[in-house]
Amino acid sequence: MKTSRALLRHAVLAACLLIGSHAIAQSLSSTNMKISKGHIKSAYQADAKACTSQAGNAKDICMAEAKGKQAIALAELNHQQKSTLKTQYKVSMAKGEAAYDVAIQQCDDVSGNPKDVCVKEAKAAWVTAKSEAKVLLKTSASNVEANQKSMDAKAEARQDNQEIRADASKDERAAALKVAEEKCDALASTAKDNCLKTANTKYGKY
């Protein structure tokens, strides 16, 4: 089973590859859109039905995967219909959220501090997925606008992009600190104190 962090790291990578692409999807006719949505709905129903053969948390994970697959497919279909930075962003977010939902369900397979750590890792990776998607959306839009303007505008866009990335890094470090602190909770006494000090040294100054 993949860990929550690994799942969402994959989602972040997928988001980066998607937004970084300059491919323009061919628009679909309204008829083809309706047909495609019908196929997506049918696929979801088939996946959901297959989940009924499972029980307990395995069933919950299966349903989370089915719902995520449907959400991603719909977002990708909308992007194919109207290729914009915004629709690219929505695909990235759908992938990140789908991975997060599955990861959270997988955390139910453990208990105690390992579960708390698992949940924190899932949330931290989701924060990373969202922040990276937003960075790519905003910087791409800024670059497009700057390319149509003067050199001064381009320099200003680069500065704005640096600030956007800095804000994203701050959010990611804050989330990573929460994960580290949760891991320290499994320790006791001096070991826990030292663990917290190390965590704050590594992530605290954000």
Write the burial class of residue 114 (CB in 10 Å: 0-12 exposed, 13-18 middle, 19+ buried): middle
Q: Give CA–CA dist 161/155, Å, rounded.
A: 10
Torsion sign over Cα 192, 197, 203, 204: positive
pTM listed for this prediction? 0.66
pLDDT tens sequence across 3-16 = 555 545 445 444 44
Tokens of 163: 């600030």
Torsion sign over Cα 174, 131, 5, 71: positive
Of 134-138, 149-153, 160-164, give the range with the top mean pLDDT: 134-138
pLDDT tens sequence across 82-121 = 888 899 999 999 999 999 999 999 999 999 999 999 999 9
120-154 residues labelled b (16+ CB within 10 A) or e (exposed): bbbbbbbbbbbbbbbbbbbbbebeeebeeeeeeeb
Contact 126, 96 (CB under 8 A): yes
H-helix segments, the chain: 4-20, 30-51, 56-81, 85-107, 112-146, 151-184, 189-199
Domain boundaries of the chain, sorted by first residue: 4-204
Confidence label for 172 from pLDDT (cuts 50, 70 and 90): confident
Average pLDDT (118-140) is 88
Torsion sign over Cα 66, 46, 49, 1: negative
pLDDT reported for residue 109: 93
User: Pick from 2, 6, 15: which is nearest to 96 by CA?
Assistant: 15
Q: Give CA–CA dist 12/19, Å, rounded.
A: 11
Contact 197, 177 (CB under 8 A): no
